[in-house]
Structure 1
Amino acid sequence: MSPADLVASRWGARFQGRNFPCSVGRGGIVAPQKKREGDRATPAGQHHIVGMLFRPDRIAAATLPAWAQPIGPGDLWSDDARDPAYNHPVRAPHRFSHERLSRADPMYDLLLVTDWNFPMAAPGKGSAIFVHIWRRPRYPTAGCVAFSRTDLMWIAPRLTLGTRLMITP
């Protein structure tokens, strides 16, 4: 592992020589082969940051890398294993189960997309494993990795596309 890797565990995270508190899934950290849709677990292993999404009404684009993409009210993420667009961004209206990316709460104001089961999604292997803002300190997620808003806003501009997210048990 290198200082350029974002390394996370249930105990915290490390990036560019700094330590951060973080949250992981309520189901704990599981081996990748055991990860299933809806298990609320965070998959262990090496993942990569493949996208950054943000709410332009809540975060200024100038504070983020040029490759960050704005999200709006019609932006969704499919979490339905029966959907041909499973574990991909979709637009409303969408007839399959999905997560709304433009939430009323601040959790998805800034969202890092990982390559977990993406872009070639295997149905049922888990969707929407993001890095996002936590609900409250150390409160478990549905499988994502979460940080305080302040910490994620520090981390985000220092990432590049392809930065490794190392999730360790």
Structure 2
Amino acid sequence: MAILTIECVRGDIARQPDIDAVVNAANAQLLSGAGVAGAIHRAAGPELAQACRPLAPIHPGEAVISDAFGLPNRHVIHCLGPVYGVDEPSAQLLAACYRNALRLADRHGLVSVAFPAISTGVFGYPLAEAAEVALAAVWGCAAELTSLRRVRFVLFSEADREVFQRILDGGEKSPA
């Protein structure tokens, strides 16, 4: 079992040079889009879209891995989070995104992975609920990981980072 460090930072998911893999909050076809997917695809370059074609489509809760191309990382792990209120059970599907991404990173011998707040943008998942699910999933999966040592949550705003940090610090408890 690896000792896992979890950290929350404000920043750009496409600019995490000290991390082995960044996680893309992907759409089912793994195409560029708005938000995280657009930022990652723009930074990685057109090779990422080409590499993703044979991996698509994916379903809510699933994760696949590709090279990172123009990003400063080794890999991109693509996760399709649930659309809140549409893809049910939302909490279980969201937790599966994090668990599947962590397991995939671990199987590839990666030491570090950076996540955005999956499903909280256009997919409408309330931030605090998503943070509770995400952190509970990471902690719940930690004991089975062998190579992974660091999980970073890269949040868009300082307010988002504070929500994740408060839950990480135990200020709010997950119902899971």
Q: TM-score, normalised by structure 2?
A: 0.27
Greater share of strand: 1
The structure in which a higher percent of residues are helix is: 2
